[in-house]
Amino acid sequence: MRFQLYMSGLALALCACEPKLVSPPPEQVSHQLADGQLVLTVSPAHGGRLSSMVYRDQERLSLKSERDPANWGSTLWISPQTSWGWPPPDSFDNLPYTLTGSGNSRSLQGPVDEQKTGLRIDKTFRLLGGDRIAWQYQLTRPAGAAAPAAAWEVTRVPIRGLVLFAHEADPLWFTFGSFPYTTFGDVTWVDLRHSELSEGKLNANGRGWIAWVDGRDLFIKRYKDLRTDQQAPTEAETQLYISPRGYMELEAQGAYQTIAPGQSISFDTEWQWLRLPEDVVVDVDSPSLLTYLQSVGLPL
């Protein structure tokens, strides 16, 4: 009897010491959507980020790594950066978002940023077919005093291929650092194929798009073309950041607007993946590539 009681007590003690496995609530579990050649994974538990984007069976985002555990995937920040400094408030990238939706659409509602801006970020994305994605962002001020802000989409991808964008005659400028770029007419090219570039962030008064050529695959971001006076202070409509930690950021910003208590502003982008035709030459200032960009509706 004593032996049985001892063994029963030991079993209870062992059970009490075993860690309990706690599953996240359903609205915080990663979700995957697929359409055509495109497979997307969103992670509500990690700031509602897009954590994976596979096109033609190849991962195109820069993923979480030991080298940089914080800056990965695609997310939304609030502009200008001077309103929060560094690092980003937890509500931008790290706190759980609530996911809802069905079919080809998902929505993510974030927590209010109590640290710096007083704003809440909401995101909705929808697969449109033809390897296209529509993003709708909303910045909401539940309470507090009216203050201006802009939405800022940050998409991290590996440093490779060509990046190009059209822009107005305004001079391009670096927030910090520098790297080589080439401008022909109103189109600027950054060639990442042959040499490692130093850290820097390039800004432009763009024409509503930025493109990345990865091998023979073309990724396009489209967004509203802003006037100079619509851009946030010390920021720009179109931005490219090259990191020393193996990724770059394709960035787009919306209009800088005052948000009153109880009010919201919105920012929409559209992404598209395309396989380049065989007769398109991938190179800086390639006439056939420029012609192709015009054929898919990009203003040069």
Q: CA 167 from chain center: how many Å?
A: 21
- pTM confidence score: 0.91
CATH topology of domain 23-295: Beta-galactosidase; Chain A, domain 5 (2.70.98)
- pLDDT band, residue 134 (cuts 50/70/90): very high
Rounded Cα distance between 192 and 85, Å, is 29
pLDDT tens-digit readout, 158-191:
999 999 999 999 999 999 999 999 999 999 999 9
Rounded Cα distance between 135 and 112, Å, is 20
In the structure encoding, which two tokens stand for residue 199, read together?
């850290």
Identity at 104, one-letter amino acid code: N
- pLDDT at residue number 195: 83
- 157 - beta bridge partners? 248
Q: Residue 276 above 90 pLDDT?
A: yes
| Burial track 84-119 (b if 16+ CB lie within 10 A, e otherwise) | beeebbebbbebbbebeeeeeebbbbbebbeeebbb
pLDDT tens-digit readout, 115-126:
999 999 999 999
Q: Residue 9 above 50 pLDDT?
A: no
Identity at 88, one-letter amino acid code: P
Return the domain boundaries, the chain: 23-295
pLDDT tens-digit readout, 92-116:
999 999 999 999 999 999 999 999 9
Tell me the CB-side half-sphere exposure of residue 20, using CA atoms within 13 A. 4
